[in-house]
Amino acid sequence: MLRILALLLMFAVIVSPGFTASARRGLLLVANKGDQTLSLIDPEDHRQIATIGEGGVTGHEVAASPDGRWAFVPIYGNSGVGKPGTDGSTIAVIDLDQRRVVHTIDFGHGVRPHCAVFGPEDGLLYITTELDQSVTVIDPKTFKIVGRIPTGQTESHMLAISPDGRTGYTANVGPGTVSVLDLGARKTLAVIPVASHIQRISVSPDGHQVFTSDTEKPRLAILSAESRKVEHWIELPGTGYGSAPSSDGKWLLIAIPNANQVAAIDLHTQKVARVVEVPPSPQEVLIRPDGKVAYVSCSDRRQVAAIDLAGWSVQLIDAGAQADGLAWASSSSAEQGSRRLEQGTRGF
């Protein structure tokens, strides 16, 4: 018996060299609008290990539960924000261990659900529901809708939440405004005018600043969370899109789709310190939890650019058509997924 156990342990070590690394690193999730799939990417090997059908038309964004078990993909519809098309009414819930859609959350009518963000303190899932001019609150344990927060604006497309979990900020595309939301009281606190048209939004690690770009001019707005006004503009090498701050608050990385670049803004000097060339049409930026790598979805090349934030080198990872939304799934799912991969299981 002892000999058999020893052989089994030896076999596990031989066939599972990637298990420990993947479990430690987690998984990168990519919502592919063109394929209507979710990519699971192993960040250690820089390769796509599975794709999962989203079960609807079409998911733009994705959120992973804090424990790494679930992915939530809002099914937006077949058009862009503010444009004619179908009005999505569901969210696909994907079990990342089983690698399949296991549940559908139905809003009951067309709302164009888009950006999903987990509250860092309450663990609730907040999702922009454009056509209702609101953010909908979902309990991820029961998959039930438990509340709604009005934004007071049309086209509330993207959402960012302050690090303390108390305040939400929506980028209202057509109006060019930012709605400030009290997540606990579930009410609108203010609407901040920014520009004639904006798109994406992010918040500094200390919660004092909010970032959004003028999509018609090459400039980034820095909003004060305290005064609820635009306090400064930063000139960009092109029109900005998705952005993400580094965890130490030193850098803000922002995608520049019309220049095929990612600009790194020094938040101390409030100037662009460097630019990194990436494949065409960079969309969203996600900085890995350890702060070492930034991932950038590149829609026109079916790739994700992985930028080493120490040396600023770029490694490209294949994904799906029109790669867009990004999320990080913790090691819980990575452990199970890596084990299934070594056993020959594949996604569908």
The tokens for 176 are: 């060019």
Residue 157 has pLDDT above 90, yes or no: yes
Spatial distance between the Cα atoms of 162 and 27, rounded to a whole number of angstroms: 24
Strands (E), 215-337: 219-224, 229-235, 243-245, 251-256, 261-266, 271-277, 282-287, 293-298, 303-308, 314-318, 323-329
Average pLDDT rounded to a whole number, residues 88-104:
97
Q: Helix, strand, or coil here: 312?
A: coil
CB burial of residue 6 (10 Å; 0-12, 13-18, 19+): exposed
> Looking at residue 86, what is its pLDDT?
97
Percent of the chain having pLDDT more than 70? Answer: 88
Select the more confidently predicted residue: 13 or 203: 203
Strands 177-182 and 167-172: antiparallel
Spatial distance between the Cα atoms of 170 and 107, rounded to a whole number of angstroms: 20
Pair 279, 258: CB distance under 8 Å: no
The tokens for 75 are: 């099914």
The tokens for 27 are: 């998984």
The tokens for 127 are: 């999702």
The tokens for 47 are: 């390769």
Select the more confidently predicted residue: 315 or 332: 315
> Looking at residue 56, what is its pLDDT?
85
Banded model confidence at residue 332, pLDDT cuts 50, 70, 90: low
Spatial distance between the Cα atoms of 32 and 15, rounded to a whole number of angstroms: 31
> Looking at residue 250, what is its pLDDT?
96
Percent of the chain having pLDDT more than 90? Answer: 87
- Least-confidence region, from 23-32, 101-110, 139-148, 173-182: 23-32
Pair 105, 90: CB distance under 8 Å: yes
Residue 20 has pLDDT above 70, yes or no: no
The tokens for 129 are: 């529901």
> Looking at residue 55, what is its pLDDT?
83
- CATH fold for domain 27-250+338-342: Methylamine Dehydrogenase; Chain H (2.130.10)
Spatial distance between the Cα atoms of 246 and 307, rounded to a whole number of angstroms: 12
Mean pLDDT of the chain: 90
- Least-confidence region, from 10-14, 59-63, 188-192: 10-14
Pair 224, 208: CB distance under 8 Å: yes
Residue 71's Cβ-side half-sphere holds a number of Cα atoms within 13 Å equal to 36
Q: Which tens digit of pLDDT belongs to each residue from 39-93?
A: 999 999 999 999 999 888 999 999 999 999 999 999 999 999 999 999 999 999 9
Spatial distance between the Cα atoms of 58 and 42, rounded to a whole number of angstroms: 24
Domain range list for the chain? 27-250+338-342
What's the Rg (C-alpha) of the chain? 20
* Distance between first and last Cα of the chain: 39
> Looking at residue 334, what is its pLDDT?
44
Q: Which tens digit of pLDDT belongs to each residue from 240-263?
A: 999 999 999 999 999 999 999 999
Q: What is the DSSP letter of 89?
A: -
Pair 116, 61: CB distance under 8 Å: yes
Banded model confidence at residue 4, pLDDT cuts 50, 70, 90: very low
Strands 282-287 and 90-95: unpaired
Burial 27-49 (b: 16+ CB within 10 A, else e): bbbbbbbebbbbbbbbbbeeebb
Q: Which one, of 157, 156, 263, 249, lies nearest residue 209 by Cα?
A: 249
Whole-number Cα distances in Å, 247 to 73, 89, 251:
25, 34, 8
The tokens for 190 are: 């203010």
Cα 162 to the center of its chain, rounded Å = 15
